[in-house]
Amino acid sequence: MFGFGKKEEEKSSGPVGEVLLENGSSVKIAQRVDCIGDSCPRPQLMTKKALGSVASGEVIEVLVDNPSSVEAIPPMLNGLRATLLESRKTERRWEIYIQKN
């Protein structure tokens, strides 16, 4: 009614973007998960869902603005067979890059 509907993760048939990591490597983003404005546990659930829908070796980008989500996502990755590539803070959000193993 007021535009507060649930956000869906961005899906496409190909990469949704590319990012240069701090180590100098460039990775293609297979899926972007926008959790701006969401609080726990939604970012964790959306991250888990996104990892379940990408192939091994693909990278997802998770956007969050909730500090507790930034702390909660990395510890759960081992159980999801995924690796944290990088987490970076911008002025208004964190960008978390995760590769599915």
Closest to 99 (Cα-Cα) out of 64, 51, 63, 52: 51
Report the CATH number that the domain containing residue 25 is assigned in CATH: 3.30.110.40
**pLDDT for res 15:** 78
Can you give the pTM of this predicted structure?
0.86
Give the SS3 label for residue 84: strand
Q: What is the structure's pLDDT at 52?
A: 96
Q: Which residues of the chain have pLDDT under 50?
A: 1-3, 6, 8-12
Residue linked to tokens 């956000």: 7
Q: Could you list the residue range(s) of the whole structural domain that residue 62 is in?
A: 17-100
Span 40-57, pLDDT tens digits: 999 999 999 999 999 999
Determine the pLDDT at residue 3: 45
Determine, yes or no, domain membership for 7.
no
Residue 71 within a domain: yes
pLDDT on residue 29 = 98
Active site residues: 40
